[in-house]
Amino acid sequence: MSTKISNNPAPLTPGQCRGARGMLGWSQDELAASSQVSVSTIATFERGERTPTKANLTALRSAFEQAGLVFIPVNGGGVGVRFRSAEDSK
């Protein structure tokens, strides 16, 4: 089964951000370094206090995707995140 990646992906949710960090074992500091988005922006986003700019959301998503994650849009069950391949999960 293949996952189709949209040219216009759904926005990253705070839960997906927390979950993706957890899957990679990244701290907020590590995500900030990888995405060039400030730790305070990541923290307030993950707490649901504020939505980052489109550019920052894109940078966060890109950092996760470069690390081997794929974001799953609402497809009957809700949004999610998973490893692109079994190799990426090691």
Task: Give pLDDT tens digits for 39-49.
Answer: 999 999 999 99
CA distances from 81 to 8, 14, 38, 69 (A): 16, 12, 22, 7
45 lies in a domain? yes
Domain hosting 72: range is 14-89
| Average predicted confidence (pLDDT) for the chain | 86
2 lies in a domain? no
Structure tokens at 74: 């609402």
Residue 79: closest CA among 25, 13, 24: 13
CA distance 84 to 69: 5
pTM for this entry: 0.82
Q: Residue 29 sits in a domain of what CATH number?
A: 1.10.260.40
8 lies in a domain? no
Domain count, the chain: 1
User: Which 8-state DSSP code applies to residue 87?
Assistant: G
Structure tokens at 35: 């995405």
CB atoms within 10 A of CB 25: 7
